[in-house]
Structure 1
């Protein structure tokens, strides 16, 4: 272990002129928002005592410097921060949260398939709750989370724990073993400021999230953690949900919009995000996922850890006959049916699951997808042609403002979390986060399915 110093991070709040301008790098394209007001909100959290003469009386901190970043989708980042925040909570240390960072080279904008996107988005534009500095449930003495920027301000000197100091002594890469290993290490340290070294990556990485058994032992305690039971989406995301409610599930009785219901530390997630009766959500990854699904088939991959929790009814055991890095054409077809289904296969699976008890009363379909507009419209026509659905809508139908456009994944996740039934992709981290929230909020496991 070693002690290190680092200067405070530079100011991240852009000037108003940075928003909505144009750049010669992307001719004719409006630059995305930089979310300056959200950065400023995080800076003004009351536990951020910027002008305090000393920070010695503040709580102990835990900063995971090697967190997922640089090209990681929101689903990948969120699955990691849930476990990191839970680990910090268990250690009775303030969780240090960070920006959702697509590119950490210091640029404001990054190129994504020829389009500009924000290089970083503050977590407060996506989520809210104890993970990003709001109070824990009433009576819970856990220290309040702080931002990365504040951590470096309050902790110019800190103890760095190299990755191998913990992971070389673990019996497995399962989440429960990793949590215990880091808890033992953190509990042995009196240092106020502790950092998980970035030398070997974060405590929980793709190996853990990709193993179907890796969450099994930690899940009973994680599902009761206030990290999950008092999680919420940002007001920006909830506003998008309210604005589009009539698109994906028209209301039959007057319901107060989410944005009109005060968010309080005492309100559990399950009470805020109640089930929407009649709504079926389908998560269908397209685009480059076709190649990803073929890759999964070559390596005989199982469902991801969040999608293989023991109570879930749909299991996937890799079919026999494959070898390391190769698989049979028949097995590849099995993978594609579950991972990248055709329209005919989608319709057949929807018809099959519409007959189970948990599907009684379904009448609206919402398709969460990154698919091309033409493909999405063809699928919607096919769903309507069955004569079963009152409404059929998709991610492409949502009306989003300029800031909501770049957090649209979180909007989809909120819709999926509240659906009466979800049919998701067992290899998708975005599906996995929805699954975890549904189960933690008391949704029936029978109503959470896969292709």
Structure 2
């Protein structure tokens, strides 16, 4: 007889409930860990892709917006005709390379040092060897300044023109034309090296005047037969930084400097003139013809530096001057020397209690009012100057102030009434190359003002005043805070 199949019998598992729960928990943890790892991997991949994408974008933006290197200007300087000669020493030509020129300072400081060094070369009958406007001499293309990227060096031909960088002197002047430093290196591989300390003993007093320094260097260089002379980079400057703030030392050289083609033929670069022309409507009318009275010898030419009637230019420093002015007060600083000609109005007298790191409260207020004027201070001064000089109807403000502060100043000036145009440096529309020579653009505008109100403690103001005085503009048109 066939047996019926047995029904399956449910047997109790030998595993305890606790062990089963543990296994289930482990399985769940394993699955969770896998999900976490998978998610983390995906997140890491996304982060990597995002970071890589941002880096690529930043690189593209950097390449698109990085400062220019002015290659065409460098090439043009190296191609000067005086560099193309079979005998660079023909006719007794001699050269002077001032390798310890200013670097790491602003354009105003650089320009005054450049002019004085070039005058030494001119007075000694040597070709002046020029270099770039230099922020950093480490051969880098770019440098950081105020959290921004700037060119480490800018060729002078993007800033100025004239004999300082190879332009012609006046007819009949046999002084050899200036040459580029790269050309000097080529023709003078082993120049005579002179240190400033070697020349100083011949100057006499401990603090010689600029005229005495110029005369001593001229005589010293004329006594060197070697056509190739270099002032050592590691020596002190020919004209110390402090001499530009000492009227009694610097101004004795003015009769020589003001008559020299080094200064008289100094002009601004085409790049700077182009920026001026493009922005002129901001600060002056643009008539089809501008009245001028050039010297007879230049009758066919148009004077690009004739003052613009009705234009008042202000130089208002902010930024670093917010601390710098207080520093000047504590050390009893005076106006820059070229801001201190006897014929100029608004003269400065250093308070008796300023100096040696200390200054009284009233004297500090005086320094700040004249070095870092507030908007009400500026408005009051402009009103006084407009009352003293007829015809002012346009105002341009050279400033490094932030846009919001500059806009507030413009509004305050417009509120005084009677002005056609009020603009500041922040309003200029500049192309990529003009942006990094904007100080030169400001200086050209200041040079062409009917009246200038400058900062007496600033080298940029003093360079403008120097140029205006060299052109024999009325001294009373140079005013100061």
Query: How do 1:48-447 and structure 2 match up within 5 A?
Result: 48-49=83-84, 52=86, 54-57=87-90, 59-69=93-103, 71-170=104-203, 171=205, 172-255=207-290, 271-356=303-388, 359-447=389-477
Distance 1:234 1:277 in 2: 23
Q: CA deviation at 1:26?
A: 8.7
Q: What SS does the corresponding residue of 2:191 show, helix, strand or coil?
A: strand
Task: Measure the CA separation in 2 of the matches of 1:136 and 1:252.
Answer: 32
- Residue 45 (structure 1) shift: 0.3
1:335-380, Cα deviation, whole Å (9 max, x unpaired): 0000000001111111112222xx2111100000000000000000
* CA apart distance, 1:23: 6.6
The alignment partner of 2:310 has SS state of strand
RMSD of Structure 2 on Structure 1 (CA): 2.4
Deviation at 1:168, TM superposition (A): 3.1
Q: Are the structure 2 counterparts of residues 302 and 137 from structure 1 closer, same or farther at C-alpha, using a change threshold of 3 Å?
A: same
Structure 2 CA distance for partners of 1:98 and 1:269, relative to 1, 3 Å: farther
Deviation at 1:272, TM superposition (A): 3.2
Check 1:93–1:372 CA distance in 2 against 1; reply closer, same or farther (3 A cut). same
Secondary structure of the equivalent of 1:218?
Answer: helix
TM-score by length of 1: 0.89
SS of the residue 1:157 aligns to: coil
The secondary structure found in structure 2 opposite 1:213 is: helix
CA displacement at 1:201 relative to structure 2 = 2.3
Asked whether the 8 Å contact 1:163–1:196 carries over to 2, the reply is: yes
Give the match's secondary structure for 1:351: helix
Structure 1: distance between partners of 2:471 and 2:358: 39
Relative distance call for 1:267 and 1:296 in structure 2 (3 A) is farther
Mapped contact 1:230–1:269 kept (Cα < 8 A): no
Unaligned residue ranges in structure 2 (runs of 5+): 1-55
Which structure 1 residue ranges, 5 or more long, are not aligned? Answer: 1-20
Q: Deviations over 1:224-283 (max 9, x none)?
A: 111121111111000001111111112245349xxxx9xxx9699994311110000000
Assess, with a 3 A threshold, how the Cα gap between structure 1 residues 166 and 143 changes in structure 2: closer, same or farther: same
TM-score (norm 2): 0.83
Aligned to 1:11: none
- Report how many residues are paired: 420
How far apart are the structure 2 equivalents of 1:129 and 1:221?
18
Work out the CA distance in 1 between the residues paired with 2:403 and 2:243.
34
Secondary structure of the equivalent of 2:105? coil
Q: Name the structure with the higher helix share.
A: 2
Which deviates more from structure 2 when the two are superposed, residues 271-280 or residues 124-133?
A: 271-280
